[in-house]
């Protein structure tokens, strides 16, 4: 059902009491103008539309129907958002869930947790990601939320939706002194590695000083985005209250680990990554190497969910390297297996039924 990569034998300690914990799924969203650089992101039908993707992802996830614009996010090829996976797994567990707005271009038209310093991220090739001071402010916002939502008997699953996120994640890791060029994944089967590196080079030139950047918050303000620093704060607050946390996402989550490690946090036995086999087996990125370099005490659990027998082309594309991860899809499925013991076949059945439903409503093509 799922497999685990576990460098430091910490999985058992992490997983042993998970079944007795109360699970709360928390999906973080933000926009970064970095996603509007042509070629950087296919998480939307056009570069400009990627700004709306986080909002539409979570409206669809929670309400079953987008509200702000009547569109469920698709790639230019028409492949639907991984929120379809998340929504299906979540509906089977009937678990509690929440959305946190760290700086979406449009605030979703439903109840969400608003961070007081939520702000749309700048386009990092030409401008800073965040206003001065906002690196720490967003971290503290996330930390306050993590402390409030956590409890000693809870498991928090943190997912994300922010197009352009692998690019800013790479830039954060590089700025903090970790090798990340060519190691972050992409929603496209042709990872625009060269373009991402160009964006980083421009950001480095703009910055004009040496890296690694000593001050973590400064690094995020120059090279990052509003999302990853908020999630890092959330994890910090949550584990302080003895909660366990699954970071539900791909290589982006390695930037969260990088922030936490540079801040000196101990993650052992408290934090795991939950993702998909599409991420782990991706040859154009290297989540395993990133975790090994940054935080080998963090195990990676990945679901074996596969769409090779999917009756819909829009899902079969996933097997050809499209999408791979997002909106906490992998970690939500892993958790549904880990905590509820849901068979993968059941999850898949519900995903196919959900695809059928949204195809019937005209949001995606049936074949």
Residues that bind its own copies (CB under 8 A): 22, 24, 62-63, 94-98, 100, 107-116, 141-142, 144-145, 148-154, 241
Q: Which is nearer to its own copies, 63 or 69 (CB)?
A: 63
Helices (H), 181-307: 193-207, 216-223, 226-240, 252-262, 277-280, 287-294
Distance from C-alpha of 204 to C-alpha of 175, rounded to nearest angstrom: 9
Coil, strand or helix: which one is 133?
Answer: coil
d(CA 140, CA 303): 32
Q: Which is nearer to its own copies, 69 or 109 (CB)?
A: 109
Of 111 and 264, which CB lies nearer to its own copies in the complex structure? 111
Burial of 194 (0-12, 13-18, 19+ CB in 10 A): exposed
Q: Among residues 71 and 98, whose Cβ is nearest to its own copies?
A: 98
Measured CA to CA, the distance from residue 162 to residue 55 in angstroms comes to: 9
- CB 57, min distance to its own copies, A: 15
Q: Report, in Å, the least distance between residue 87 CB and its own copies.
A: 12
Nearer residue to its own copies within complex by CB, 149 or 162? 149
| In the complex, least distance from residue 256 CB atom to its own copies, rounded to whole angstroms | 17
Rounded to a whole number of angstroms, the minimum distance from the CB of residue 336 to its own copies is: 13
Q: How far is the CB of 91 from its own copies (least distance, A)?
A: 11
Tell me the CA end-to-end span of the chain in Å, nearest whole number.
Answer: 27
Distance between CA atoms of 41 and 45, rounded to whole angstroms? Answer: 10
Other C-beta atoms closer than 10 Å to the C-beta of 156 total: 27
For the CB of residue 218, give the shortest distance to its own copies in the complex, in Å. 23
Residue with Cβ nearer its own copies (147 or 277)? 147
């Amino acid at each position: 059902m799922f497999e685990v990569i576990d460098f430091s034998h910490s999985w058992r300690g992490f997983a042993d009491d998970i079944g007795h914990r109360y699970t709360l799924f928390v999906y973080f969203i933000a926009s970064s103008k970095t996603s509007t650089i042509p070629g950087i992101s296919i998480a939307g039908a056009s570069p400009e539309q990627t700004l709306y993707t986080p909002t539409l992802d979570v409206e669809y996830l929670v309400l079953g129907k987008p509200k702000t614009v009547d569109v469920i996010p698709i790639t230019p090829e028409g492949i639907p958002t991984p929120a379809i996976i998340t929504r299906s797994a979540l509906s089977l567990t009937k678990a509690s869930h929440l959305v946190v707005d760290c700086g979406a271009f449009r605030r979703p038209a439903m109840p969400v947790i608003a961070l007081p310093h939520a702000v749309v991220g700048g386009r990092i090739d030409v401008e800073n990601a965040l206003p001065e001071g906002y690196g720490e402010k967003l971290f503290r916002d996330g930390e306050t939320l993590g402390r409030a939502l956590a409890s000693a008997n809870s498991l928090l699953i943190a997912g994300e939706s922010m197009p352009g996120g692998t690019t800013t994640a790479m830039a954060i890791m590089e700025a903090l002194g970790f090798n990340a060029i060519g190691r972050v994944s992409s929603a496209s089967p042709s990872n625009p590695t060269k373009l991402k590196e160009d964006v980083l080079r421009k950001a480095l030139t703009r910055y004009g000083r040496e890296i690694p950047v000593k001050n973590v918050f400064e690094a995020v303000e120059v090279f990052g985005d509003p999302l990853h620093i908020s999630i890092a704060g959330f994890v910090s607050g949550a584990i302080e209250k003895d909660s366990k946390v699954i970071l539900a996402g791909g290589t982006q989550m390695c930037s969260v680990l990088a922030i936490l490690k540079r801040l000196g946090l101990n993650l052992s036995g408290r934090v795991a990554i939950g993702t998909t086999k599409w991420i782990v087996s991706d040859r154009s990125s290297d989540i395993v190497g990133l975790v090994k370099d940054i935080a080998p005490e963090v195990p990676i659990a990945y679901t074996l969910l596969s769409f090779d027998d999917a009756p819909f082309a829009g899902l079969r594309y996933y097997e050809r390297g499209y999408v791979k991860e997002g909106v906490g899809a992998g970690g939500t499925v892993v958790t549904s297996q880990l905590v509820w013991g849901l068979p993968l076949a059941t999850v898949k059945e519900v995903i196919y039924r959900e695809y059928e439903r949204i195809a019937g409503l005209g949001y995606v093509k049936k074949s």
